[in-house]
Structure 1
Amino acid sequence: MYIRKRIDAFRPSRGPHTGGTMANPMDAADAVAGGFAAEDTRLMTKVARLYHEQGIRQPEIARRLNISQPRVSRLLKKAVASGIVRTTVVAPRGVFADLEDEIERRYGLTEVVVADTGGEDDEFVITPALGAAAAFYLETTLTGGERIGVSSWSSTLLATVDSMRPRSSHECESVVQVLGGLGQPSAQARATHLVGRLVQMTGAQATYLPAPGVVTSDATRRALLREDSIAQAIDAFPNLTVLLAGIGSLLPSPLLRASGNAVSAEDEDLLRSAGAVGDVCMRYFDAEGQPVRSHFDKRILGIEAADLLHIPRRIGVAGGRRKHEAIRAALLGGWINTLVTDSATAAYLREAAR
């Protein structure tokens, strides 16, 4: 963002035809009423304009006006205190500070990061933009000691870790895979790459979950939970401090279908009839964000909803029209409290909250 100094003293207000009005411009009467003589106000304004608008340094201002440098400094401080100088933050093109603030306020989120995609709804445009934005967010907010849980399949998460830069110091303690990745051979390869790349970028220790995300029955799931390598990951879930996850719609993504972990048509019908619109880590919820309970839950080998919702910082990286309803529901249900999304989705979320 850019910070702009605005000099308001003795400046006439502008009507709508000139593009807006100065916020409460100060005039000579205001200045005198505030305890400043008209001459002091004139000098304060002159000094403020030289310093803030022309970029002239204080010693040069003192020389030009034949006053001492300490007096220049005092006049600049008085100009701020009196309201002659006002600071405004101007967001550059492609930065959506007001939109981010509004969504945070309306949905009670900790933070929102909006990536500029030029209004495109093409996944080939949205995915790298979200990945770059999420990578920068992680690089600037990981302060050390975090224990990160990461979902195993998500094109936006793959784009995120591939956009990250290695750090010279250890940025987090551990990275834990919170959802099984086995299925087709490529699925575990992606899950391994996702966890491994995040470990490489942060200097953390890795804990993998070498199991399918969706199994055939509850009995199979319970049998797998007895395996030491799987139990090690499960035991780490309650101590996670950060979750990094995608937000899924009920219609599986191409990546999920290719993984072999996608829900079957029969399961999809079951979830739809129960009101499901989306998921985080395969834990499904309805349009208001409330959990959808079904037998399908007992076939998921991954983090339980209670442990997921207990994680202090839950970062969701998702966008695109196909996921609008799912993202809104995830916000309403508190499944995530930090969102990285695209500008068109952010605009939808703002309108949907009215």
Structure 2
Amino acid sequence: MSKYDRKLDQAARAAWMYYIAGETQQDIAEKLGVSRQVAQRLVAMASEQGLVSVHIQHPVATCMDLAEQLKTRYGLSVCQVVPAGEHEGQGLQKMIAVAGAEVMAQTLRLPQPQIIAVGSGRMLRATIDELPEFDAPQHSCVSLIGAIASDGACTRYDVPLWMAEKTQGRYFILPAPLYADSAEDRDLWCNHRIYRTVTDQARRANVMFIGIGNVDAGCPLNVDGFISDPQVERLKQQHVVAEMIGHFIGEDGKRVASELDERLTSVTLTPNTGREVIAFAGGKVKHQAITAVLKGGWISGLITDEESARFALAQL
């Protein structure tokens, strides 16, 4: 997507808020993370480019309507939906990442120190890659998930480090593997003083940025060797469709107990906490997972694509 296309998308969003949602230019500025003057110019640009007539002639208008429906249906405070069109794979991931980076940037621009808890996943990392560099050393990034492999090496799940490098802020790594070798081994990791310090930081986070994983043969946890093929099959027999930082969620949106729980070291997640938990996920392979997470009230915000949004809205 070119810089001009992104500007046009932003103008369409501003026009939708102004002409359809009836929001003020100050409201638009705050939601888009721009100044009031920029918001005013975006509304004017939408008119000049012919996006505004009886209705807004742009795919973003449909997406914003879907976002509002998701917010109403699932009680979200934050939601952005990007046009899917013919995109899948890397193209769709790029679009979600660009939109997600705008949402992340709203937190990173705050002058007040923020504790930002970060999960894992390829979508989350792609979103952070789209962030510009920030001179924001007042913020702290804390990991929600262990990024140490069984051989002691750090893995690609160490996503929070990428955000810390973007902000120049402090970074707190969770000093543990995702799954310990045994329940006894997990107790050793989780009772360490540094582990308790980091998880306490995570519990006090102002916002959590998190990915949503699907659970199927060939899913990232399976491919990267964290869960075996037989374990995937047993999870599917329990109707597990989603995973967030190692927690498994069934198609009804409820947490599913598994044989892996006694070895899991990541920060505990609970639904309907009232906390700001924003997820980034999309694509056909994630439809069931996203819907389950929404049903269970695990998140307060979602950045996704229009087909994923339609799927979630079609569920009873």
Tell me the TM-score normalized by structure 1. Answer: 0.68
State which of 235, 238, 255 in structure 2 corresponds to 1:291. 255
Unaligned runs of 5+ in 1: 7-51, 56-86
Q: Who is 1:243 aligned against?
A: 208
State which of 82, 90, 93 in structure 1 corresponds to 2:59. 93
Letter in 1 for 2:80: V
Letter in 1 for 2:215: L
* 8 A contact 1:184–1:259 mirrored in 2: no
* 8 A contact 1:276–1:285 mirrored in 2: yes
Q: Who is 1:11 aligned against?
A: none
Q: How big is each residue's C-alpha offset from its partner over 1:207-244, in whole Å with a ceiling of 9 and x where there is no partner?
A: 00132112232111111123344333223232122111
When residues 119 and 348 of structure 1 are mapped into structure 2, their CA distance, relative to the original with a 3 A threshold, is farther
Q: Who is 2:26 aligned against?
A: none
Q: How much does 1:114 deviate? A: 0.9
What are the within-5 Å matches in structure 2 for residues 179-328 of structure 1?
Answer: 179-183=145-149, 188-192=154-158, 194-251=159-216, 255-261=220-226, 263-306=227-270, 310=273, 312-328=275-291
Give the share of equivalent positions with the same residue, in percent.
24
Q: Who is 2:33 aligned against?
A: none
* 8 A contact 2:71–2:79 mirrored in 1: yes
Q: Who is 2:115 aligned against?
A: 147
When residues 281 and 189 of structure 1 are mapped into structure 2, their CA distance, relative to the original with a 3 A threshold, is closer
Q: How big is each residue's C-alpha offset from its partner over 1:76-98, in whole Å with a ceiling of 9 and x where there is no partner?
A: xxxxxxxxxxx988373345211
Q: How much does 1:145 deviate? A: 2.8
Q: How big is each residue's C-alpha offset from its partner over 1:274-297, in whole Å with a ceiling of 9 and x where there is no partner?
A: 332212111111112111123321
Q: How much does 1:336 deviate? A: 1.0
Q: How big is each residue's C-alpha offset from its partner over 1:151-179, in whole Å with a ceiling of 9 and x where there is no partner?
A: 13x11111111100122445x63111111
**What secondary structure does 1:135 align onto?**
helix
* 8 A contact 1:289–1:332 mirrored in 2: yes
The CA distance in 2 between the partners of 1:228 and 1:156, in whole Å, is: 31
The CA distance in 2 between the partners of 1:130 and 1:295, in whole Å, is: 33
What are the within-5 Å matches in structure 2 for residues 66-145 of structure 1?
Answer: 90=56, 92-95=58-61, 96-120=63-87, 122-142=88-108, 143=110, 144-145=112-113
Q: How big is each residue's C-alpha offset from its partner over 1:218-274, in whole Å with a ceiling of 9 and x where there is no partner?
A: 11111112334433322323212211111111126654345332x122322332233
* 8 A contact 2:217–2:229 mirrored in 1: no
Q: How much does 1:133 deviate? A: 1.1
**What secondary structure does 1:105 align onto?**
helix
CA RMSD of aligned residues (A): 2.9
Larger radius of gyration: 1
The CA distance in 1 between the partners of 2:168 and 2:93, in whole Å, is: 25
The CA distance in 1 between the partners of 2:222 and 2:259, in whole Å, is: 20
* 8 A contact 1:3–1:88 mirrored in 2: no
**What secondary structure does 2:139 align onto?**
strand
Letter in 2 for 1:288: D
* 8 A contact 1:183–1:260 mirrored in 2: no
Letter in 2 for 1:190: R
State which of 154, 158, 174 in structure 1 corresponds to 2:125. 158
When residues 252 and 265 of structure 1 are mapped into structure 2, their CA distance, relative to the original with a 3 A threshold, is closer
The CA distance in 2 between the partners of 1:186 and 1:163, in whole Å, is: 29
When residues 243 and 274 of structure 1 are mapped into structure 2, their CA distance, relative to the original with a 3 A threshold, is same
Q: How big is each residue's C-alpha offset from its partner over 1:134-165, in whole Å with a ceiling of 9 and x where there is no partner?
A: 1111112443332111113x111111111001
When residues 276 and 254 of structure 1 are mapped into structure 2, their CA distance, relative to the original with a 3 A threshold, is closer
* 8 A contact 1:184–1:258 mirrored in 2: no
